[in-house]
Structure 1
Amino acid sequence: MTSATRTPQGAGNRSGTTPAPVLRLDGVGWTVGGAIIVEDVSFDVHEGEFLAFIGPNGAGKTSLFNLVSGLVPATRGTIVLDGADITAESVPARARRGLGRTFQTSSLWPAMTVADHVRLAAQAAAGGSYRIWRRAARHQRQVDEVLERTGLRQRAEAPAASLSHGEKRKLELAVLLVGEPRLMLLDEPMAGVSAEEVPALTDLIRSLHRDEGRTVLMVEHHMEVLLGLADRLAVMHHGTLLALDTPRAVMEDATVQQAYLGEAL
């Protein structure tokens, strides 16, 4: 298995030098009351890369996302975003640097319309007051573009409660995209989505990565989805980074198969 800091295919420039990573974790860990949740995780993520995380429940995948996004403080190691040490920064400070995240569980307001969700996010990203967000007409074009991009334009005036689960996931992406994130953390975006809606949501995420060049970290249990999206796969096991390499190399690794994937793969 190759190094966790391996440069993805296509990274680098014409001079042959490797560009600085968008994200770097160096020996990151999180201990709570003596219990080790995440231990000594190190890796780099480069511009435009899609890095997917797999592992059994309780392996530390979401905990690692919580550390990167600032929801919980790292008890050791450093987290660097675009060359800046953000280890001790707050969630809003990381968001201002271009880090955006979705969650396993939807956090939408049921009675609020699709367009109002995105409009509020646009105003927040611009630093406007929450009290006057309904008057923020200057954001309307941006809202319309994001709704079009995510396939929700026809559902703009629908309340969030009326959306299918797949549409709710698209709305969460729309709320994220309106802030123009440099780095997107997607935590199980397919969770709860019907089999009929998975292909469209997968195509949207693929387009954000390949067509728009967005850098993506994603946790997902749908292996067939990940194999069609990821440049590299990271395997978490008992809070540690067990492997990090191309999808094919990870799938063929005997240690990974024994720990997580199983002989059937």
Structure 2
Amino acid sequence: MKTKTLLVSVALGTTLVLGACGNSDSSSSNDKMDTKTEMSSKQDKMMKANEKVMLQGSFAGVGQHKVSGMATIKDNKLVLSNFVTDEGPDLHVYLVKGDDVKNGVEVSAIDLKDKTQTFDVSDKDLTKYDNVVIYCEKAHETFGQAPVSEDMGDTAMTMMTGAFAGVGTHNVSGMATIDGSTLKLTNFKTDEGPDLHVYLTKDGDISTGMEIDAIDLKAAEQSFDLKDTDTSAYNTVVIYCKKAHEAFGQAMLKG
């Protein structure tokens, strides 16, 4: 009898222990499921909040570096357009609060040659950031930044015009007009050059300006799309020879 009682006790104890272990595994599994559900819910809420974010800003170089173009955050995407940067050994784009990359998140490495680049930022909380920064990881140095905001459209030029004049010995004439998101050259004539392009600049400074497109040497009427361009940052249209690194003409814009 004692032997039977002992066996029953051992069996009962084993069952209780196994039951406890089973309950523990089930509880742990439930906890993990709850955590995953909570994380998924937070991600969904963040992505929905991101869908309402529409930010835009124009790049400017930092220090001796030259960076230009536009940064646009929309539909969970970061788009760099008309983008030009000095070369660097390891350039990356960051979303930043303020201008310190320590207060931001890295998005991706950038392509030094591609004027239009798109990055998925759906996993980032876009409501936290107000600056897009081009940063050299190897040199630990900021090359350029674009403060972004929601009211870019209110500051852009709606109708600005100016008359071209030649620079130096070059002859350029006609009118430059920015009407909404279009740059128009009318009654336009220019001396011939091997590689002429039209730029938007601040006070004629090509180094901080934005290249729009190559021009047609023979067309008196030409139009260029300025969509997603912050025209408020510029006040002069310049005809520039990229091969000779020389301005042929410019038009100061006025409202």
**TM-score, normalised with respect to structure 2:** 0.25
Q: Which has the larger radius of gyration?
A: 2
| Higher strand content, 1 or 2 | 2
* TM-score (normalised: structure 1): 0.25
**Which one has the bigger helix percentage?**
1
